[in-house]
Structure formats: C-alpha cells, structure tokens
Structure 1
Amino acid sequence: NDRYWVGPLSNISFSFISVVFMFGSFIIYNKKCQTNKLSNIPEAKWIVAMAVYYILVTLVAIDPALHRTYLASYLKLLLIMYIAFRVIDTRQKLEYALLVYILGSAYIGYEAFSAGRNDVGRIGNIGTVDAPGENSIAASMIPAIPLLLYFIWLKPLKIKLILAVLAVFIINGMILINSRGAMIGAGAGTCYFFFYMIFSRFKLPKQRLMVIVLSSLMVITVIRFADDLFLDRMDSIESEAEVDENADGEGRMNFWLKTFDMLEDHPLGMGIWGYQLVSPQYLSTTQLNAAKSEGLSLRAVHSMWFQGLSELGWIGFSFFILLLISMYRRMKLTIKDALNKKDLEVYYLIIALQASMLCFMGAGSFIDAFRLEVFYWLILFIICACNLSLNNSPSDIKNSLTIKRKR
C-alpha cells in the first residue's frame, strides 16, 4: 500500500492468486515433471530436518504465537520452493528462472532510482514483503551480479546488450541504497567469479579478454554513479566492523557474541524473534540506549548466522550447517562431472552460483537474513543446477558418484 501505483489496483490478493495458478498448473502437468525428485537430492533431508525443528521450537519459543506467525510464512516458502524445484526440470527453464531473478533485481534498482535518497541518505519503501528494509533488499539484489557476468559473457550479442542495461540499474541501485554489507558481499562474490575466470585451467576462447572487458565496465559504471555520500559510507566499513574493547560497546560483533550467553539459558533455541525479545536481559545499558535513540526498544542480532543459531539453537543450526556441507559436496561432484563431459558452461554456471551465494552470505553476515526468500532461491537454483547436470551423466559416472557418497 506504500507504492505510488497502488491506487488504481483492485484490493485482491495477487500473490495468492499467482500461487493458486502455479499449484494448479503443477497438478495438471505433474506427470511431465519427473526429472527432479526429492529422493534424488541429499540436501532434502536437511531442509526437512530444519523445517521439522522449526516446528518443534514452538514448544520452547520465547513468544510461541509470534513464532507460529513467521513459521507459517517459512513453511509456505518451502512448499513453493518444492513446486519450483519440480517444475525447473531442464537447463533452459533454470536459465529462465535466473534471468527473471536478474530482471527483478534490475526492477528494484529502477525503483531505487525513481524514489531517490531520503534526508538521511538512504532509500526506503522499495523492498519486497520479506525484505522491506534497505539492507535486506540490497542483500536480495546483489547475488544477481555474478549471474549477470556469466550470462553477459556467454549469451549472444542482443542478450548481452539487454543484460548490460539491467546491470546498470542494479549497480546504480546498489550505490543509491548505500548498504555497506551488500557492497562487501558484492565485492567478495565478484572477485570469486573473476578469480576462476582468470586462474582456472579450463577456459573458453578469449576468456581472459572477457574478464578485462567485464571488470572494466563494472569499474566505469561504479565510478560514473558513485557520489560523495556513497564513498563516505563505504569508508565507515572498517570502523563498523571493529569489536569494541569496552564491554559496553555497540559494534555488531558484540551483539553476535551475546548469542552464546543467550544459548546457555536456551540451548534448544529461542524461536523466531527470540533474540529481540530477550535482548533487554542480556545487552548492556549502552547498547539498549543506542536502540532507544533509534526509536527501538529491542535489538536484533544483525547476522544471518547468529540469527539462525539463536532461533534454532545448537541442534537446529547443525542441520543448516549440514545442508551447506551437502550442497558444497554436490557442487564439487557437479564440477567434476562437467569437466569429465567438457561442459564448461555448466562448470562456470556452478561457479557463478557459488559466487552468488557468497554475495548473499557476505551481505547476510551483517543483517538478519536467515529467512529471506532469495537465500532459499539460491539454494533452489544450486540444487536444480546440480541435479540437472548429474541426471545427464553417463551411468558409470553416476554410479561412481553414488559409491563415493555412500563411502
């Protein structure tokens, strides 16, 4: 309702209608969507374990009613991701999904350009339902950058030009939003992708030349749109990341470390919003006064890692770590398989997806991003890419990979 274009729209649930059509289409074409099955992916058991544990945490949550409200949204997200997993059953469909995600990120960049900065030098009211703040929407946008580099590199000229325009909107939007954590994530993911393009033994024709072209265009774009406000905010990254030696420090890492104190009293997890609700009991007076000066009575942990740990406790968070380990192993197997088949496009697609995940995790390390939708989209994209590639493997390769996993 905060959007300028809401006036002429009917007051109906567009999201609900979209999902109903999606479910209906899936039921009709279910028999044709047999390539991706949960039984084929080792990550499924850890995702299900996390979901079950989130449900069990209701019994020990600080605020069970509030936990159930957010839990319902989380379970709906997983259900929709399952349908998407079943539907994205070809490499072409996966590329369509990635390109539409890039388009959505560019649209957010356009909204940032249209709205402009407010009186405190930030941009508000351009985020999505699950990421309404400037930092969270920036974290949702930046994983598109390595994917943009991948597609601009490998797609035909007409597609390159369209994607180049989208890249300008995304980069300009990132500069306008002024999120320090997002810029850290973007830098880490971009460098990771370029590192493989430069130093990998497996290269496509004129690959290093393309690195020079892409990196030069990115630098030129940043220089063109960067202003003094953006540069000043980026200069403050180092001071923000420092840990105060004073016990009453306000640095983010002080909030992170308090999670361990909380878990001594709540080892099974505190549920969604648990950290915020108990923060007055564990944080210092200085930290709480800093929150009050911002018009807040509670403090968030400001890190997806410690957010997940505080919500799920040691047991539930271990399922998340095992999910990441399982994904990493599958990506290694997919890379090995792609190189055996000399399919360098798949090889670099996996590298681009790894870089995108690194972008998100870099930004998410400084905000509460554990349940942001784009994080689960990235998990979905990685699982689909690996599953589709390995399903096309010769039987002897698949058997050897299965034996290796069993050992």
Structure 2
Amino acid sequence: MFENGHIYYFPFAMKMLIALLVLALPWERWFSFLPTFIKNGLVSYRQFLAPVAQDEAHKWYFFLTRLTLSLIIFLLPIAYDFYVPEVAGDLRWYMMHSGGLALCVLFFIYQIERHKTHQNSQLSIKLPFTSWMVLITVFFGILTLFWGASLPNNWWFLKHLMGYALIFAFALQARHIQWYNNMFWLLALSVSFNAVLGIMQFFALTDADILNAFPFMQSLAETFPSLQSWRILGFFQQSAPPAGAFANKNLAASFMVMTIPLMAYLMLNSKNNLKLVLSTTALTLACVFLLYTRSRGSWVSACAALAFAAIWLCLHKPLRSALIEKVTLKKGVAFLISIAILLWSASFQSGFAKKGQQFHSMSTTVTEQFSSIKDIEKGELATRIAYNINGVDILKDHPFGIGLGSFHTIYPAYFKSSMVTPKPGYNLQARPRRMHNDMFQMFIELGVIGGLAHLLIFLSPIFMAWRIQKNEAAPNNAKMLSFFALVGIGGMCVNSLGDFPLQMPTAPGVLWLLVGVVTGLYLQYANKPKVYGFNLKAKLNPQILFGTLMALSAILLTFISYDNYQRREGTLYLKPALGMTRASQHSDMSVYFINRSMEEYPLNPRAREIWGVVYMSYKNGISGKRYNITSEDIEHKLLEAIRFDPYAQNNLVNLAMTHIRKTQKFMQEKNMTKANQHIQQAIMFAERAAKVSYYAPNAPTVYGLALLYVGENQEAYNQFKEALKRNPDYVVAKEYIQKLQPLIQAGKVKP
C-alpha cells in the first residue's frame, strides 16, 4: 500500500507463521474449560510439529527446536512476497537467517543448562565428516568477504549459506525419526499446494474463472464484501508459469524432482487408509505438476534419479527386502491409480494458447517436449557450455574464489576468455546472474578447497545411507527414509548441474535439511558411525563459555534481522523503480523510488546497478519534474555503482558519456585543462566498456567518440565500424562515419 510516499505491506506468510506459533501455545492448560476434543487437537498439533521422546532431557529445547524447523520447512515452499523483486526469494531467506540464529541462541542456553549438572571443563568436539565439510564451506564463505569481487553480493549470499548450514545442523542435532516423518508430511502439504496452484496456472485459470465455477463463492463474496478484493491465482505471478508459488517453472519443477521421492516414501510407509489416500494424492499432484512445467532439465534429472534408485536397489538386498515388506495390495492399487491419472493428465494442453498468451514450451505436447531434449537449441546449450568453459579460466585466475554471489560481477571480464558467450547469454540487457551449474559456481566463488568441501556435503550421504541400510539392527523405516531422502538429494544435485535451483532459497533449504536428516539417521542407526574431532580442555568455565557464545548469537541474530528488515524496506521501493526503468519511464517517481531504496538499504546490488541508469536517463527541465540533477550527481551515482561492480557495461558507457559532456562544456568555456582531464577519464571508462562489450554498438560508439577528441581518428573510425558490424542500422555510428568522410578522402583515415 502506497500512502504519502511510503509503502506498507506485511507479508501474508509472516501472518501465517505468527498464527501457527500462537496455535502451538499450551491453550488447553490456560483454558481448562475447553471441550476435550479441542484440547486433544491442540496437544496433537504440538506433538505432530515437535515430537519429544520420553527419555530426552531438556524437553523444552528439543520441542522449540523441532517446532521452529517444522514451521520453517512448511512455509518455505509457499512464502511469497508480492511487493519485492524476488517474490519467492527474500522472505524465504529471511526465515532461514533469523530462524537458524534463534535456534543458535536456544542451543547455547541448552548447553548452559546441561553444564549445570556436568561440571566438566573438557569439551568433546567430535562430528561426522559431513559436518566438517559444512564448517569448511562456511569458513571459506567468510574468508572470501576479504577479497570478494562484490561486497554487497558476498554479504547477501554469505547469510544464505549460514542459513542453510544452520538448517542442516539443527536437523542433525535434534534428530528424531518420527519428527523426520512428520516434516515430510508438512512438505507434502506445501508441495500439494504448489502443485494445485501450478496445475490451475497451466490451464490459465483466473480468480474470476473459479468464482464463476462455484456460484456459492459469489454469494459469499456479496455477503462479505472484503472477500471481493482477495486474490489467490492473481497473487502468485511468475515470469514463466506454471510455477506454483515459485519464481518460474524450472525452479518449481526441480523442487518437485527433489520432493517426489519423499511423497513416495510416505505412500509406502502409510499405516492406515487415510495416510495412504493423502500421500497418494500428494504424489500424484506433484507428478502431474512436474509434467505440466514442460521443464526438460527437470525431466532429465528425474530420469537420472530413477536410474540411480534402480541401481541402488539392485545392489542392496536388505533395502529391497525392507521395501517389499511395505508393499500391500492397497498400495499397489493406489500406485496404479496414480500412474493412470498421470497418463490421462498428459493428454491435456495448456490453456495459455486459447487465451492468446505465449509462454515458453507451453504450446508443446509432452511427447514433443520429450523428443526435443535431444534437440536443445544450440544457443541455449552453447551458452551453458561457454559459462562452464570460461568458468575454468576464472577458477585458474582465482583459485581461492571470487566471493559468494560474485559470478555476476566477474563474468564480463571472462565472457570470451576461451569461448565467446552467445548473445542470448551475454549482452547489454542480459548479463548472467547465475552460471546454470550451481556446483561449479561454488568452486568459482569459494575456490578449490571451499568448492570441494561443498561438493562433498552432497556426496557424503551416499556413504551414510549405505551404512544405515547395511546395519541389520536398523529399523526398516530408517533404511527407507535414508534411501528416499538420498534419491531426492541426487535428483536435485543432477538438476543443479544444468540450472540454478540452489541459487534460490527453497531448494537449498530443503536440500540441506535432507542432508541433515541422512546424517542424523547415520549417527542414530549406522553400525559404529564414524566421527572425527578432538577433546578440548576449556580454560573458561563451560557455563561462561556458552553464555558468551549465546550472547554473541543473540547479537548476530539482532544485527542480521535488522539488516534484513532494512533490506526489505529498500526492496519495497526497488520493485517499482525496476519496473519504471524497464519500461523507460524516467520520471520524478522513478528517481524518488530509487533514492528511497538506496536510503533504506544501500547494499542491495540490484538497486546499485540501476541507480546511475535512473539518474542518467532523467531529463531536467520537463514540466512536472522536480529534481535538479546535475552531471556531478550522475557521476557520483555511477562511480558508486561500479565501486562493487567494475565490469558493468551500461554504467561504464554512461560514465564515459558523462565525461564527454563535461569535456564539451569546458571546451565551450575555453578551459582546455579541465576538458583534457575529462576526456582522458571518458577514454578510460569507454575502453573498459569496450573490453566487456561484444554485441551492443553502444560501447564502441562512445569509445570512438571519445577518441575523436584526442585526434585518434583512425582508431575512432575502427570503433564506429565495429559498432555498425554489430548493428548496421545504428544511427549514431553512421553519423560519425559520415563526418569522417573528408579525412577518408584525404587519405588520413583508412576505411
């Protein structure tokens, strides 16, 4: 809501989180007069979200830890913030940042209580291999802050890595097999919501269509007028539907690939008819939605996950036996019904074409899309190949990494180092933010050691799952759970080799959770699980040590929560500023919005990128405009923009043009000293822009113009020719070549 120059909006997902937390309070104790069935329902709700074993000490800690993680995992796939650019991103990250740090505070309070009765100054620090790899990954993420290519990106993505690591750590530390089962059920609810939403999007349904289909809803809206403004399908809007509550269909599809094995586990492990119906429904909806996304990369990764599962089962007789024991006639019938529905649903076409809407791959049938896998567009495949080949060059030059989130910053310097990146993957309007190979991108950003540690986090579950399933004493439930979690991990990791699901919050949040689940089961059910570490004799009293760590965690929680709050306030103004910039609406409102965004949070990389562009494009002297923007203002904003983004082609071109205009101004004033200073600056920035430019004519044209002022006519002509080579109809370059015709005729410039 925009009022008096301020934007106010409290996300619906946060209202849900508050409501779910309030519902978990012990109301049955405070209101003893409540009916028995309500009391029992409240108790069951809490026990479902956070089961606690009878023999667990400090039950309060395990209850709060499991409750917090359960709610985060439930809301992660559905939290949506319509009023910020990353609608399905920022809010989900915030939950993991603050939720994980809140659990850190609880953990150290728990440790203080433990050491009240155990006055032992010797601390045992022994962790499984995966935990050490997580610590090494986070350590290198912190280290790269000191030499990273872009501090705003480094800080933003370091917070994400910390959030994922904390999700892993507390899923492992609070291990409880019934809790793991219950979290999978919570995921089934979230997945089903996304699937239903995505299926309706596939058929291009709108809120009006639903209202017309169910007359009673119209009557309800007339009775309660406030309901008429409610939006459901209209609220979740994506750049590439159908995507459910995700940003685009590929991200939604990759999430389905990871969670479908979990739905299959719930189905096989169902102990009554109700659970069988619910799990089969969730599995069917997820499979249909995956089919409707028309995401070839996710289909390939799903096939890879199936092949991996088949090979694993062939090699592992104890697991096969455990699965066979769970198969019943009812489950077999339910599975066949699910397959039949999936095949039937494949016959439908998307409704977008009927409504005149064109979205990528939505006009194809399932068969056509499957057959097109072998004929992936050359530009699309070549772009990914270029990212990877040139990425090797980045890694060679930066073996200790370029900093988290810095691929976007550094890639322009390497876009043609070994292979020229095709135009769809690199141009003035489209600089790659992600590498479309998440595993390799972590090598580039964290360096060889950090990238290897990150990779081993997701390879180590293979060893742990094998050890769990080889232990005859382990319950079948644990063997099955570790297997299906491993298949989900594998499917997501394969998908991440050709896309960027791990650059967004939902997939990595659940992926790291699954690794934590497998690691927790390994410590609980493997025969003699291997842990590595040492005993440390603490010089401080353990209570003082953990009290200090608790205070530090509380300070970090407060700081990061406030940092995230400021960032979100800034993104509320950034979204309209981005929209106006893309639509070339350079008005006083666009300047107001970008200024407010930068005032609220100056470290947002996307705001910094367009700050100078908005100022450069703003025209003074037009009626209704109230900002008197000087060339000094523009230069300051552009210099600040390239401070952490030195290869930003657009900003470099604009900086060169700013100095050319100043050169013209001082030449008119006969101040040649100042004019010479500014033209040298213009040449420097234009040359930098030309080095990272390949397809757009802007950079060589500006470079050529700057060279004319210092008498470099031949090189200026060459730059104008290069501009016309890129765009034969580029008017500015044509005009300057025409002006050089007398010099060409005189033989002073060679054509």
Q: 1:42-191 counterparts in 2 under 5 A? A: 42-87=129-174, 89-116=175-202, 122-123=240-241, 126-128=244-246, 132-156=247-271, 157-191=273-307
Q: Is the 8 A contact 1:26 1:83 kept in 2?
A: no
The 1:251–1:44 alpha-carbon spacing in structure 2 relative to 1, beyond 3 Å, is same
Shift of 1:124: 5.8
Which stretch shifts more, 39-48 or 310-319?
39-48
The 1:57–1:207 alpha-carbon spacing in structure 2 relative to 1, beyond 3 Å, is same
**Alignment-derived partner of residue 201 in structure 1:** 317
Shift of 1:8: 9.3
Q: Which runs of 5+ in 2 are unaligned?
A: 2-8, 18-90, 115-123, 205-236, 350-363, 534-751
- Partner secondary structure for residue 236 of structure 1: helix
Please give the per-residue CA displacement for 1:173-218, whole angstroms capped at 9, x wherever unaligned: 2122222221122222234335555775331347598997576445
Q: CA RMSD in A?
A: 4.1
Q: Is the 8 A contact 1:241 1:252 kept in 2?
A: no
Q: Is the 8 A contact 1:123 1:177 kept in 2?
A: yes
How far apart in 2 are the matches of 1:288 and 1:13?
Answer: 44
How far apart in 1 are the matches of 2:405 and 2:437?
Answer: 13
Q: Which has the larger radius of gyration?
A: 2
**Alignment-derived partner of residue 375 in structure 1:** 511
Residues 1:276 and 2:394 aligned together: no
The 1:250–1:10 alpha-carbon spacing in structure 2 relative to 1, beyond 3 Å, is closer
Shift of 1:345: 2.8
Shift of 1:290: 1.3
How far apart in 2 are the matches of 1:26 and 1:121?
Answer: 40
Q: Is the 8 A contact 2:436 2:497 kept in 1?
A: yes
- Partner secondary structure for residue 501 of structure 2: coil
**Alignment-derived partner of residue 739 in structure 2:** none
How far apart in 1 are the matches of 2:10 and 2:474?
Answer: 54
How far apart in 1 are the matches of 2:451 and 2:404?
Answer: 13
**Alignment-derived partner of residue 673 in structure 2:** none
**Alignment-derived partner of residue 234 in structure 1:** 370
How far apart in 2 are the matches of 1:93 and 1:165?
Answer: 22
Give the TM-score normalised by structure 2. 0.45
How far apart in 2 are the matches of 1:63 and 1:112?
Answer: 36
One-letter identity of the residue aligned with 1:97 = M
Please give the per-residue CA displacement for 1:14-50, whole angstroms capped at 9, x wherever unaligned: 577893997499569947x99xx98343321110110
Question: Among 386, 389, 405, which residue is 1:257 paired with?
Answer: 389
Residues 1:317 and 2:451 aligned together: yes
Q: Which has the higher contact order (CA 8 A, sep 6+)?
A: 1
Q: Which runs of 5+ in 1 are unaligned?
A: 391-396
Q: Is the 8 A contact 2:260 2:283 kept in 1?
A: yes
Q: 1:290-301 counterparts in 2 under 5 A? A: 290-291=424-425, 295-298=429-432, 300-301=434-435
- Partner secondary structure for residue 190 of structure 2: helix
Give the TM-score normalised by structure 1. 0.78
Q: Is the 8 A contact 2:468 2:522 kept in 1?
A: yes
How far apart in 1 are the matches of 2:142 and 2:297?
Answer: 31
**Alignment-derived partner of residue 306 in structure 1:** 440
One-letter identity of the residue aligned with 1:353 = A
The 1:344–1:298 alpha-carbon spacing in structure 2 relative to 1, beyond 3 Å, is closer
How far apart in 2 are the matches of 1:403 and 1:54?
Answer: 24
Shift of 1:293: 7.6
The 1:294–1:222 alpha-carbon spacing in structure 2 relative to 1, beyond 3 Å, is farther
Identity of aligned residues (%): 14
One-letter identity of the residue aligned with 2:466 = K
Q: Is the 8 A contact 1:146 1:189 kept in 2?
A: no
Which stretch shifts more, 7-16 or 44-53?
7-16
Residues 1:386 and 2:522 aligned together: yes
Q: 1:343-362 counterparts in 2 under 5 A? A: 343-362=475-494
One-letter identity of the residue aligned with 1:172 = V
How far apart in 1 are the matches of 2:308 and 2:334?
Answer: 14
